[in-house]
Structure 1
Amino acid sequence: MEVKIVTNEQELADAFEVRKTVFIHEQNVPEEEEIDQFESDSIHFVLYDNGKAAGAGRFRVLDGVGKVERICVLKENRKNGAGVAVMNKIEEYAKSQGISTLKLNAQTHAIPFYSKLGYETVSEEFLDAGIPHKTMKKYV
């Protein structure tokens, strides 16, 4: 497994394809909500497993805080460390940019995953694209 910072159109297309599979097809998020106006302001990440795109995520900086977004892994690649690999690469990138506070909006079913990585819940539950979420934060 290798997580790459997206540097070309093919890698970006691979990241979007994973996101579409997970969020649009699996979770029924409307495409206009999944692919949004922040794509060009984000640093994108794509995970390859044996040369095939299998995971993705993106990162933005808002008011000095790193915002981790759109973390996803294809169903067949879950439970094998793929999500951890994506998160580790994003956190490594954030630190290299001098960002020490990270936040994310976790789907409630994913809170245990992020908690194991050191994220703490800092909000009440809210709906995003019709899916229950809570905001989580971590200092790196």
Structure 2
Amino acid sequence: MVEVRKAIEENELKDVYKVRREVFILEQGVPEEIEIDNKEKEAIHFIVYREGTPVGAGRLRIEGTTAKAERVCILKEVRRKGLGSLLMNEMEETAKAEGLTKFRLNAQVHAEPFYLETGYKTISDQFYDADILHVTMEKNL
């Protein structure tokens, strides 16, 4: 069974950071001081559980009428199983419920096709963030 929900309880937030640490810090080599930043407290955090095990995470921040998805990740061993789509759907529904009209994210270039398939449009040239090539993408809600 797969469950995607807002991470509110302390144990859920610990699971968020555990998944992010695995993907961004250990797998991709992002320095911890970049991965965990001063925007954590203002964000709405999401966790993906598969059979009770944390396997995905993301955070949503509100900037005016725009929702910004950040730190979206799925553990390597369970990628390409639809979990990323479930996570993004939950984040988008939360943004809609908040009355937001636009969803924006900075996608790693390798993930750009995934976001294009789900209705996002690339609105920037490629740029580096944490030494990883990204593009900014947007979707109307």
* Structure 1 residue 16 corresponds to structure 2 residue 25: no
Deviations 1:47-85 (A, max 9, x none): 000000000000001122100111000011101111001
Q: Give the aligned residue type for 1:11.
A: E
3-state SS of 1:76 partner: helix
Aligned match of 1:26: 27
TM-score, scaled to structure 2: 0.98
Q: Percent identity?
A: 49
3-state SS of 1:84 partner: helix
Structure 1 gaps of 5+ residues are none
Deviations 1:62-110 (A, max 9, x none): 1221001110000111011110010000001000100110100000000
Q: Give the aligned residue type for 1:109.
A: H
| Cα separation, 2, equivalents of 1:123 and 1:77 | 29
3-state SS of 1:115 partner: helix
TM-score, scaled to structure 1: 0.99
Aligned match of 2:4: 3
Aligned match of 1:91: 92
| Cα separation, 2, equivalents of 1:22 and 1:34 | 10
The number of residue pairs the alignment matches comes to 140
3-state SS of 2:37 partner: coil
Q: Give the aligned residue type for 1:31.
A: E
3-state SS of 1:86 partner: helix
Aligned-residue Cα RMSD (Å) equals 0.5
Structure 2 gaps of 5+ residues are none
3-state SS of 2:38 partner: coil
